[in-house]
Every structure is written in C-alpha cells, then in structure tokens.
Amino acid sequence: MNGKLKNFARAAAFAAALVSGPALAGSDKIVVELFTSQGCSSCPPADALLGELARRKDVIALSFHVDYWNYLGWKDPFSSADATERQRDYRAALGLRYVYTPQMVVGGTRETVGSSRGKVMDAVRTVQGLSRIAIDIARPDRDTAIVTIAKGTAPDKAATVWLFAYDRSHTTDIRRGENEGVKLINTHVVRAIRRVGKWDGSETRIKLPITMMGIEKQDGCAIVVQSAESGRVFGAESFALREGRS
C-alpha cells in the first residue's frame, strides 16, 4: 500500500542488515484487521468476533480504531488518524469506493463486513492456503527485539515491514453517541503504527529499540511483512512486550 503514514522520528536508530543463518520454517499466522469505532452502533458484534479470533493460535487479530466517527457525540479514546489512513490505503489497494465500519481485512487481500461471521471465516480459510515466509523474533533484553525475516520469493517491489503495538483488551462504558449505555470490550487495540524496514526477498534482520520507540507500555506487538502495492501479507508474527501479556 502506498500510505502516507509518517516515518518514525528515530528510524535511523533501527539497524537493518542482511544476515546469514539457518533456514526458518514458514509461518502459519493469518493477520485479521478490524476497522472499528466505539461510536459505531453496528461495530460491537464485529468487536466480539475479533475477540474470538484473537484466541486462535493461527491468527494475529488487530483492532484499528478510526477517527471519522468521533463527531457523533462520542470520541473513541483509541481512535487515530493513522488507523483511518491505513483503512484508506486498503480502499485504494482493494479497489473499493469508500471506507466503512465495521470492516474486516484478512491477509491484506480479502475484506468483508466485520460482523459477517460466515464471510469472515471464509476469508480466513482462503488465506490459510497461501504460503507465507517465516519471521523469528528474539528478545536479548527487555528493551530490544531482533526480527529475522526469512529468505523467500521477492515481491516486484520491496515489501514494507510494519510494527503494530497493541493493548490486549479495554473495557469502556460508553456515555454518549450511538452506543450510549453500552459496555464495550475491545481486543488487541492498536496504539502505535510504525514502518520499521523493508524486505526484498533476502533474509533480513531488523533491530527494534522498544523504549526508544515509545511502545514499552503496550502489551504486545505484531510484525507484518506486506506488499506496498497489493496489500498481501507475506508473513507475520507477534510477541509480548510485557511478560505474560500478549
């Protein structure tokens, strides 16, 4: 996707270099992204479905809270312009006429209404059959993560390596807007979106300084290698940022 998300100010601190080493086994993780808002009355069923998917070991579930519902009486405390921009990038990549909530995007290439269980599960099954590259994550200390992306078939253009830092769960009492009086549970709420490198088909290592990136208070982190044009996810892995919380 050709997004305009701002590069992280300390990107120069990231050490990315080609490395040699043992072959890594392919990843079986499927990325499921929900674009949602606490101000959207049709979103709670999709939020619940994402929470269910987050319990699967073969799924990396991510909840992106968009900001374009905030004017309807309730400002979603987890909304961000970056989440909205990511959804708009998908609109362009997938050839959609508009953005909407709740929207579920599976594997970067399949999208459907996020509350449509049957269609979401069909998309997950379809993406399960695609080959994926392996991603290994080492934690030499609490402040450092080292991401190793395996060698694989090179995309036409270098893929983007994304980092999504998320909170495991939030429960919110909605006091105004379309969901007034509802207690909402949001799972794997993305709080930081960063471009941290590129992958050109060669085995690649990226060093992530957790504290310098300002994500040390989040519970978990997902690394997603994704086509900058089609949106296809080539591989993904997640890890805990705080012990016992992922």
Q: Tokens 């012990």 correspond to what residue?
A: 243
Query: pLDDT-derived band of residue 243, with 50, 70 and 90 as boundaries?
Result: low
How many structural domains does the chain have? 1
Looking at the domain assignment, is residue 245 inside a domain?
no
Q: How many residues does the chain have?
A: 246
Whether residue 115 is predicted with pLDDT greater than 60 in this model: the reply is yes
Q: Are 18 and 204 in contact (CB under 8 A)?
A: yes
- Of the candidates 72, 91, 68, the one whose C-alpha atom is nearest the C-alpha of residue 81 is 68
Q: Are 63 and 44 in contact (CB under 8 A)?
A: no
Q: Are 108 and 53 in contact (CB under 8 A)?
A: no
Instruction: Report the pLDDT value the prediction gives residue 5, as an integer from 0 to 100.
Output: 40
Instruction: Report the pLDDT value the prediction gives residue 158, as an integer from 0 to 100.
Output: 86
pLDDT tens for each residue of 175-186: 999 999 999 999
Mean per-residue pLDDT for 66-91? 96
Instruction: Report the pLDDT value the prediction gives residue 3, as an integer from 0 to 100.
Output: 47
Give me the domain span that covers residue 178: 11-240
Instruction: Report the pLDDT value the prediction gives residue 21, as an integer from 0 to 100.
Output: 38
pLDDT tens for each residue of 131-182: 899 999 999 999 999 999 999 987 778 899 999 999 999 999 999 999 999 9
CB atoms within 10 A of CB 222: 23
Looking at the domain assignment, is residue 2 inside a domain?
no
**C-alpha 194: how far from its chain's center?**
10
pLDDT tens for each residue of 9-19: 333 333 333 33
Rounded Cα distance, 76 and 22, in Å:
45
Report the chain's mean pLDDT, rounded to a whole number.
89
Q: Are 123 and 105 in contact (CB under 8 A)?
A: no
Looking at the domain assignment, is residue 49 inside a domain?
yes
Query: pLDDT-derived band of residue 70, with 50, 70 and 90 as boundaries?
Result: very high
Instruction: Report the pLDDT value the prediction gives residue 246, as an integer from 0 to 100.
Output: 58
